[in-house]
Amino acid sequence: MAYLEIQDITKEYDNFTLSASFSVEEGEFLCIIGPSGSGKSTLLSLIEGLDTPTSGSIILDGKDITSERIQDRNIGIVFQDFTLFPSMNVEKNIEYGMKTEKKADRKRFASNLLKLVGLEGYEKRAVTSLSGGEAQRVQLARALAAEPKMLLLDEPLSALDPPLRKSIRSAIRSIHDTLGITMLYVTHDREEAFTISDSILIMHDGKAVAKGNAEELYRHPESLFTAFFTGEGTAIPAYLVYENTDGYLFFRPEDAVLSEEPLDPELYPMHVIFNDLEVVSEAFMGSGYLLGMEYQGYPMLSLSHTKPRKKHVSLMILAASMQNIAQ
């Protein structure tokens, strides 16, 4: 049995139903992503213990915690909001949830945790004097001080500036690797999820639609939603290429090679060729140009190192890198 088992839980509201089933291994770093309204926060509140599911169960470390009180779940949480206790200093905040009563141990533990999150010597600081990034590091230390079985991070970085986000993100990852603690990390930032996680769970319309590691999901999405949610791409009806085939063909822009001359399909048997595309947009992306094109009324995307001089171009894609997706 996995470390965390979400077994067929549902939560019904008047106009929304959540249903999810997945498992997380001990020490796994799982990112949960999905657009707003997809059920991320509902799922989270069920795991946190803010709410109880309509059906199904949650099992953590072999123990059914479905209807256990928040206090007894032993799940640490780092919130998006500032939730440090304003009436206590940094050290007191961290010591708040500690299990040990011995004063010396508490102090040493707190100072070690501060070292771990990169805030050595911050013990006596007032929490109201901390910057946003520092506050999140202290929250992390505080959550860890309670020796949780698992850490839940609820969009912990969304209130921070992008450069700061990157540095704290890697700090979180390294803490995970140091401690080997299971982490559930909720974010709406795809890039964040890709870089930080071992695996990703995608939520859509109240359902957990896919779980896998970043590359799997990116390379071999099982649904159009996953395909588009994990990155840019083009989906065209499959019958345009293969007769009598249902569903869609999906490819990433970087897999589509641009040619300014028309291409002869006979010469490229391993590829799918599209001729006579009209370029409708060009966006410079740094690593190249993202070109928007139209093919028989269908939009297509391609990443090109150079800017095409012609209005009409051709595309060629390795057939193996095209995904056939049913829906």
Partner 1 sequence: MKEQQAYYTLRSLPGILILLLLFLIPIAVVFSYALSDNASALINTISDSYTYRIILFTVTEAGLSALIAVIVAFPFAYIFSKYTFPGRKVIMTLSALSFTIPTILVVLGFVIWYGNNGLLNTLLMRISGSKEPVLEILYSFKAIILAHVYLNFPIAFLLITEAWTASSDVAEKASYTLGKSIRRTFFSVTLPSIKGSVISAFILIFLFCFSSFAIIMVLGGNPSYTTLETEIYRRARISGDTAGGASLSLISFAITGILLLASGYGRAKIKTERKTRKLIKGRGKTLFAIYLCVIVMLLFLLPPLLSILYRAFFTKNGVFTLRAWEEILGGGFGLISTAMEGIVMSFVIAFLASAAAIILASSMAMLSARKNSRLMPFLATLPMAAGSVTLGLGFSMLAAYIPHSSTIVSYLLVFLAHLIIVLPFSIRTITPGARTISPTLSLASYTLGASMGKTMRRVEMPLLRPYIKKAFAFSFALSLGEVNATLTLSDGHITTLPILIYRLIGSYDYQGAAALGTILLAEALIVFAIGEKGGNNGIS
Interaction site with partner 1 (CB under 8 A): 48-50, 69-77, 79, 81, 83, 85-88, 96-97, 99, 139, 142-143, 145-146, 148
Give the residue with the Cβ less far from partner 1, 146 or 171.
Answer: 146
CB of 235 to partner 1, least distance (A): 39
Tell me if 172 sits within 8 A of 140, measured CB to CB: yes
Specify the residue, 150 or 200, whose C-beta has the smaller distance to partner 1: 150
Rounded least distance, CB 205 to partner 1, Å: 26
Cβ-based burial of 103 (10 A; exposed 0-12, middle 13-18, buried ≥19): exposed
Least CB distance to partner 1 at residue 169 (A): 21
Cα separation, 35 vs 42, in Å, equals: 13
Give the Cα separation of 86 and 126 in Å (integer).
8
Least Cβ distance, residue 194 to partner 1 (angstroms): 27
Q: Give the pairing of strands 298-304 and 256-259.
A: unpaired
Nearer to partner 1, 2 or 146 (CB): 146
Please state, in angstroms and rounded to a whole number, the distance separating the CA atoms of residues 47 and 70: 9
What is the distance between the alpha carbons of residues 48 and 57, in angstroms, rounded to a whole number?
13
Our CB check for partner 1 shows the closer of 156 and 221 to be 156
Tokens of 288: 């190249």
Q: Distance between CA 163 and CA 160 in Å, rounded?
A: 8
Instruction: State CA 228 to chain mean position distance.
Output: 14
Work out how close the CB of 145 gets to partner 1 at its nearest, in angstroms, rounded to a whole number.
Answer: 8
Task: Rank residues 112 and 245 by Cβ distance to partner 1 and give the closer one.
Answer: 112
